[in-house]
Structure 1
Amino acid sequence: MSVVLFIVLIAIIIALSVALYQKTTNALCISRRRLDGKTVIVTGGTAGMGLHIATDLAHRGARVIVACPFEDEGTNARKQIVEETGNENVVYKYLDLGSLQSVRQFAADILKTEDRLDVLLNNAGVLVPGDFLTSDGMNFIMQVNYYGTFLLTLLLIPLLKKTGKPGEASRIITTASVTHRVAKIDIEHFNKTNYWKRYEIYSNSKLCIVLFAHELSKRLKGSNVVINNVDPGFVGTRIYDSANKTLGSFVTSATKILFKTPWEGAQTALHVALDKKAGEVSGAYFMNCRRIQAAKHACCAKTAKVLWDESVRLVKVTEDELEQCFK
């Protein structure tokens, strides 16, 4: 029994040490910048980190558009943000990143109803809900986390370019993950089902996000639009429920204690959305509110170009649409 107690004690000490280290090194966004007159979109801005990001930006006076595929959640989130911030200029719009049609409808609505877009914060994503193909013929996890985001971003570039100006670029922020470092470059098989373990699909989708930012930053050079990645770290949100409801609840609680709460996880995205210097770089990777180096294989220009061409083909972006983005 004494041996068991000793092992338990050591485990507790290690857990507390990890928690102490994480909580003392989690950086906070310190910007006091106001966003009056600015418009931001936060995908997945109705729960978890996204809700904290959207609420903070609304506090700063921005027009905030939160998007998700769950109407009740969206309506309730909009109400909560308005009540907390007193900012009535908050809008919920339906967006299902797992449907190319939904992405196109959302983007068309934004282009029709909004006269500016200062920040596009691609926060929405899933973990491992299932390994199946969508009606568009893409792996569900890959489509929600990457291909849907890829299409949405391209369709909104004309409005971002219209808004950006010298010294105050419009900002695209994509949510990456430390798991991109263990992903495999196998573009030909990214959309296969029953080929990858589900956690591998998630890692692959985050690798694609980083490669996308690398390629798009080159194509946007000189346009007064920048794109950067943010790595929130391990954050305790309900995203873990997709693996197993009971286990997910335990992991969520443990992650909040040992690593980051959703509010803490939101800080790097806020930093990159608000910090002056962050708005002067493009294609960069941020974690804990500072710029760090992404994995070497996520910065390969050749791989990024191959992925770009394949993504354009899969999401059916037309030549006219590309010309509108990069003319």
Structure 2
Amino acid sequence: MYGALLIVAIIVIIALSVSVYQKTTNAICLSRRRLEGKTVIVTGGTAGMGLVIATDLAHRGARTIIACPFEEEGTNARKQIIQETGNQNVVFKLLDLASLQSVRGFASDILKTEDRLDILLNNAGVGIPGDFLTKDGMNFIMQVNYYGTFLLTLLLLPLLKKTGKPGEASRIITTASFLHMVGFVDVNNIYKANHYWSKIHIYGNSKICLVLFANELTKRLKGSNVVINNVDPGAVGTRIFDSTNIVFAPILRLLCLMFYKNPWQGAQTALHAALDTKAGEVSGQYFKNCEINRAVSRAYCDKIAKALWEESVRLVKLTDEEVEQCFKSL
């Protein structure tokens, strides 16, 4: 009995030590930059970490466009941001990254109604809700987390290029994850359903694809005033765990909140990448705890990045003419 109690005590002490270490080493964005006259888009900016990010940017004076596929959630988030910040220039637009048609409609609307885009924060994503195909024939997790973001980013590039200026580049920030380390890119199969042993593997695949995308796009944007960087928020207690298991979801979320990060803490690296002066001078970087870090080594393979790019263009149904148009300023 005493042996069991000792083991429990040791586990508790280790858990508390981990918690103290994590909580004391979580970095905070220190930028005081104001954003009056700037326009930002935050996908998934209606809940969790995205809502924190959108609220912070609105508080700094930006025209803040939040996007998600849920009308009620988006409307309520807009009201909350306005109430908390006093910034009336907050807009909610519907966007379903699991639908190429929705992505195209959203991007077309933005290009028609907005005269600038300073920051595109690709924060939206799902956890592991299921291993099935969308109407577009792609794995749901992959399409929401990667292919939809890939298409949206390219379609909005002309406005980002128009806005960026020497010394003040437009910024694209994508939310990666430490789980990109379990991801591998089999270009010919990565978009398929019921092909991988685990939904966690699919999730990791989607996140390593975002890192490869940022590296490839950085090369293609060379000489322009647009940068793209990845952010790793760490383990954050949000609703993303709701898709795991009805029993384990609240436990996992609670553990992350206790030992790792809450949504406010998780948002800090994205805010750093969006606001920090030096962060706006680099591209293709992987930020963690508000500083440049390194992704897993295979995320820097140029051959894989190029092959993934070409296959992604095909899967999201972009024509050669459209791709060429994406790289032209408005």
TM range (shorter): over 0.9
| Conservation of the 8 A alpha-carbon contact between 2:237 and 2:262 | yes
- Residues 176-191 of structure 1 aligned to structure 2 (within 5 Å): 176-191=176-191
Q: Quote how far apart the aligned CAs of 1:319 are.
A: 1.8
Per the alignment, residue 11 of structure 2 pairs with 11
1:253 match: 254
Q: Is the 8 A contact 2:116 2:159 kept in 1?
A: yes
CA shift digits 1:209-260 (9 cap, x unpaired): 0000000001011110000000001100010010112311111011011000
Match of 2:238 in 1: 237
Deviates more, 1:191-200 or 1:11-20: 191-200
CA distance in 2, matches of 1:326, 1:158: 6
Question: How much has 1:4 moved relative to structure 2?
Answer: 1.7
Q: 2:32 corresponds to which residue?
A: 32
- Give the aligned partner of residue 111 of structure 2: 111
In the other structure, the counterpart of 2:62 is: 62
How does the TM-score come out when normalised to structure 2?
Answer: 0.98
The amino acid of 1:262's aligned partner reads P
Partner of 1:87: 87
RMSD over aligned Cα atoms: 0.7
Q: When the two structures are aligned, how many residues end up with a matched partner?
A: 327
**Alignment partners' CA distance in 2, 1:223 and 1:52:** 30
The answer as to whether partners of 2:185 and 2:209 remain within 8 angstroms in 1 is no
Report the TM-score, using the length of structure 1 for normalisation. 0.99
State how 1:154-303 maps to structure 2 within 5 Å: 154-196=154-196, 197-303=198-304
Q: Deviations over 1:114-171 (max 9, x none)?
A: 0000000000000100000000000000000000000000000000000000000000
What is the rounded CA distance, in whole Å, between the counterparts of 2:101 and 2:181 in structure 1? 31
Contact 2:146/2:207 (<8 A) preserved = yes
* CA distances 1:251-295 after superposition (whole Å, capped 9, x unpaired): 101101100000000000000000000000000110000001111
Q: Which runs of 5+ in 2 are unaligned?
A: none
Cα distance in 1 between the residues matched to 2:214 and 2:250: 32
In the TM superposition, residue 108 of structure 1 has moved relative to its aligned partner by: 0.4
Give the Cα–Cα distance (whole angstroms) in 1 for the partners of residues 222 and 326 of structure 2: 12
Partner AA of 1:143 in structure 2:
Q
Structure 2 letter corresponding to 1:38: K
SS at structure 2 position matched to 1:186: coil
- Aligned to 1:131, what secondary structure does the other structure show? coil
Match of 1:122 in 2: 122
* Per-residue deviation, 1:320: 2.1
CA drift of 1:323 comes to: 1.3
Displacement after TM superposition at 1:172 (Å): 0.3
Q: CA deviation at 1:183?
A: 1.2
Unmatched segments (≥5 aa) in structure 1 = none
- Between the aligned partners of 1:302 and 1:202, the Cα distance in structure 2 is 22
